[in-house]
Amino acid sequence: MDVSPVNPALAEAAVDDFLDDPAWKSKAEKDGWGLERLDGLTLVARLEARPLPGVPASFALKLACDYYPTHPPDVRFVNPETLEYDPRADLRHVANLQANYCYVHPNFTYWQKPYKYGPQLVCSSMTLAYYFSGHAPTRDQLWDPDRHTIGTSIHTVHRALRSPHYHGRHA
């Protein structure tokens, strides 16, 4: 899979289409996703995890869509106040997900050139970083712009946050 940024105007139009899609609007409302657009190609999704005793359940994801729709957005857990991720200071804002379809590495070493959104890896074929991390998705796992959207990426993380594969926060 050739992984290249999309023409910014086309990517922004695809983000517009996603945000205007009534089916995804309904899903976001039903699942309690808070969606905010920071700029034409950047979104923040606020999600609730499965409740665990003594663990705050709210998380913020930052989605960069400059490769979208031909590839999934980059997805990172971020500090909900700064909307950034500093691996030395923000580990507590990263969910400990250990699902076979969505695993989080807070400080991953990318095998190719440095990944511009690194070092965090939300390891799922529905996230851009997966395609820069040396993984080889099966045909069934591969991002398909005819079937997948930004909502697919958010839903994948949300599903893991609500599952027994969620183990709180990284410490």
What's the rounded Cα separation, in Å, for the pair 70 and 14? 10
pLDDT category of residue 135 using cuts at 50, 70 and 90:
confident
Q: What pLDDT, on the 0 to 100 scale, is given for residue 112?
A: 67
pLDDT category of residue 80 using cuts at 50, 70 and 90:
very high
Two tokens, residue 25:
């609007």
Given its phi and psi angles, is residue 10 left (phi above 0), alpha (psi -120 to 50 degrees) or beta?
A: alpha
Q: How confident is the model over 105-120, as pLDDT tens digits?
A: 999 988 766 788 989 9
Residues with Cβ within 8 Å of 164's Cβ and at least 6 positions away in sequence, in order, are: 50
pLDDT category of residue 2 using cuts at 50, 70 and 90:
confident
The larger pLDDT score, comparing residue 132 to residue 1, is at 132
Closest listed residue to residue 94, CA positions, set 114, 103, 43? 103
The 8 Å CB, 24+ separation contacts for 141-147 are 142/1, 143/1, 143/71, 143/72, 145/69, 145/70, 145/71
Note if the pTM is more than 0.85. Answer: yes
